[in-house]
Amino acid sequence: MVTGLHFMMVTKKIQKTKKHIEHSYHNDSHLSIQLSLDGFSFCVINQNTNEVSGINHTTFASSSSPQKLLENVMQLFQSEKQLQKRYNSVNITHVNDLSTLVPKPLFNKEHLADYLKFNSKILKTDYITYDTVLANDSINVYVPYVNINN
């Protein structure tokens, strides 16, 4: 029998870093983060050399809601030294089912909720945003994990 907060338990962690990275500010480094309800990955890239200087993936035992995900992510930011540093640039990729691609010629920003409601269950309180995807001339309409971003 296991007691405690099961969703805070890490089931799998993979990490690879270079030992020489000890600076508190990486003016030539980029931090890339990918998060989903069941895991968190990040990668540190030296933008001058295009070399990966650190990569980490953590799978959560259970994280069925954005609130539980926030708790897991906060714990990671407190425990992972690479996440406590400042970077020249950061991007975050949200992996969830709350997204759809719309061809650019058919896109109207006044209809964001309409694009999502056919494929996903959305709430009136959901924050919906979009990004342009240059590779296929489309618009990615999605609901980000706002509590994590902020």
Give residue limits of the domains in the chain. 6-94, 99-145
Quick one: pLDDT at residue 15?
A: 53
**CB neighbours of residue 89 within 10 Å:** 11
- pLDDT exceeds 50 at position 1: no
Please write the tens of the pLDDT for every residue from 78-132: 999 999 998 999 998 888 888 999 999 999 999 999 999 988 888 888 899 999 9
How many alpha carbons fall within 13 Å on the CB side of residue 88?
Answer: 11
Q: Is the dihedral of CA 53, 58, 64, 67 positive or negative?
A: negative
Q: Are 43 and 57 in contact (CB under 8 A)?
A: no
Beta bridge partners of 91: 32
For 37, 42, 90, 148, the CA distances from 145, given in Å and listed in that order, are 10, 16, 16, 5
Q: State the pTM of this model.
A: 0.69
Q: Domain 6-94 - what CATH class?
A: alpha beta
